[in-house]
Structure 1
């Protein structure tokens, strides 16, 4: 196999992954700055964001060291390219920690919105913990190996990590969308807010799961290359950006739900009618207009009471959804 081709799908793939991860890390730092300057959350949420950004930054440093060690420090030293540098293994742990925190945060939302459904939440927790245990096992075993030829023995463990990550993300997104859909009331404010929340739930799960699946396919199809590393380097960044985007968008989501459509008050003044004896003949028309325009919105006392009661139900439902969103964070 020609040497340039080997470098393209090994060190070249790692370099491309580093560039993509660095770009996403810059986006996450901007989002973190916006979060701390525009959001006023409880200390535990601020601590969560700080931990996620810190782990993400450490991971960025580690993968930079990995690519630098191979492409610069050991440039022109082919035997060194067969060795596993320590940072290549440690970065897996920090990727796993980032995924654990973000998925744990989203699992808490599932727990709140499902009214503490133990079976659903339990399955999600098992997937998340299983993924992290696999990550720790991969790193621990990897430190006992010296070359990439030996690391190939852990291909099945790499597949398991990515498969659990994708399964967990898809299940969380599906659970959130289903629970939010079941919370629909048929009224503008609550449904608008629910639609926005569903959109963010889908985006959170799709981006990370697609990246995990791409990494999984790369391992299976081209396990002896670094193609999967190009995707794996970016997974942690996608988790971080998904979390920050969700937190930063809450005010916009809630404000979008306040645009309630209200009936237009139609009034007709007497000057709209000719001042002639025919006014009396037109009076029924005036009455007819008022009946037609107000009948839909219930003018009689009984229907007004029903509407008020219905509006209160909608308002209560909206408050419940908002309360669960606040509780979840």
Structure 2
């Protein structure tokens, strides 16, 4: 096999498979933690979503491995095997789009729950629309690539659908991050307690960092595809993008448990909940809770699960608020 083919096609494919398995291992650890600590506090549909995302991730890992095995092992030395890819290679865009849509819709739901304004809920609807748009574009890429007999050299002909998929993901992730930062910043302005402000600052920074990973990988995939369409450089980032979405989802849910137990004060793309994770629950308002009045009712966003017993001498006298 020519050296140039190895460096531009076989090499990136090999690196992509390694990263896929590494991220699957990370997801398994996260899932084990979720099953033992956070699962019981979540709604049934959230639990189903987590396990469904894991199964999709596992399925795609198997398909990516099968595709790479045929190209790199079974047909080693045959450069055409890297261009005329096996059937499993066509599933990557669709499964990536499905994983991304599941996670994006979950965060849209959280934003819907955290805000009661028309604009805020309108943004949540926009996020869902963007998620479904990129999913439809991903399905179109898979369908057209299959019709092209999985000839990778013809992939640039799918640029419109592929651009829609990648740009849609990038915009959707950016909107999610921006919305969460605005919500947290608003809670920060309303807070009068140092501990809450410190935690909110960390949540804002973590939200930006997480968004930088998901949106950055998507943007890098688009750039590599445009700059080097005849190589597999973009395959590396495209392979890992689905794994990143699934890891972010489970890590976000696990972050609540760590915060409640004082192990960590960081929670990706979300807020800390007292008892039932992402569900709407009632708890006693404490000094570490930001309380706002909406439509005459006391509502709040739980930011910290630490309660000073000296400050809570008479819990019965404190008002009740709703947490997310």
TM-score by length of 2: 0.77
Q: CA deviation at 1:221?
A: 0.6
The gaps in structure 2 that reach 5 residues or longer are 266-284, 293-298, 306-321
Cα distance in 2 for partners of 1:81, 1:315 equals: 56
SS state at 1:321 partner: strand
1:85 maps to 86
Q: Please tell me whether the aligned partners of residues 24 and 238 of structure 1 are also in contact (alpha carbons under 8 angstroms).
A: yes
Task: Please state how far the C-alpha of 1:255 moved relative to its aligned partner.
Answer: 5.3
**Within 2, Cα distance between the matches of 1:106 and 1:256?**
24
Equivalent residue for 1:320, pick from 274, 278, 300: 300
Deviations 1:252-300 (A, max 9, x none): 334559x9xxxxxxxxxxxxxxxxxxxxxxxxxxxxxxxxxxxxxxxxx
Contact preservation (8 Å) 2:187, 2:290:
no
- Go from structure 1 to structure 2 and tell me whether the alpha carbon gap of 1:111 and 1:239 turns closer, same or farther (over 3 Å shift): same
* Cα offset, 1:327, TM superposition: 6.7
Q: What corresponds to 1:8 in structure 2? A: 7
Residues 43-99 of structure 1, C-alpha deviations (whole Å, 9 max, x = no match): 222111101111001110011011101011111333333313111111222111111
CA drift of 1:169 comes to 0.8
Structure 1 residues without counterparts, runs of 5 or longer: 260-310
Residue in 1 that maps onto 2:229: 223
TM superposition shift of 1:20: 1.1
For the pair 1:171 / 2:201, whether they are aligned, the reply is no
**2:123 maps to which residue?**
120
- Structure 2 Cα separation of the partners of residues 120 and 214 of structure 1: 25
Alignment of 1:168-207 (within 5 A): 168-184=172-188, 185-207=191-213
Moved more, 167-176 or 88-97: 88-97
Distance in 2 (CA, whole Å) between partners of 1:312 and 1:58 is: 45
Return closer, same or farther for 1:26/1:44 CA change in 2, 3 Å cut-off: same
| Cα deviation digits, residues 232-264 of structure 1 (max 9, x gap) | 00001111111111111113334559x9xxxxx
**Corresponding position of 1:74:** 75
Q: CA deviation at 1:3?
A: 2.4
For the pair 1:156 / 2:156, whether they are aligned, the reply is no
Aligned residues: 275
Matches within 5 A, 1:6-45: 6-39=5-38, 40=40, 41-45=42-46
Using the alignment, how far apart are the partners of 1:93 and 1:125 within structure 2? 17
Q: Write the distance in 2 (CA, Å) between the matches of 1:43 and 1:312.
A: 28
Normalised by the length of structure 1, the TM-score is 0.76
The structure-2 alpha-carbon separation of the partners of 1:327 and 1:221, relative to structure 1 and needing over 3 Å to count, comes to: farther
Matched residue SS, 2:147: coil
1:313 Cα deviation from its structure 2 partner: 8.2
Shift of 1:9: 1.2
Structure 1 equivalent of residue 105 of structure 2: 104
Aligned CA RMSD, in angstroms, stands at 2.7
Structure with the largest fraction of helix: 1
Change in 2 beyond 3 A, CA 1:107/1:315 = closer
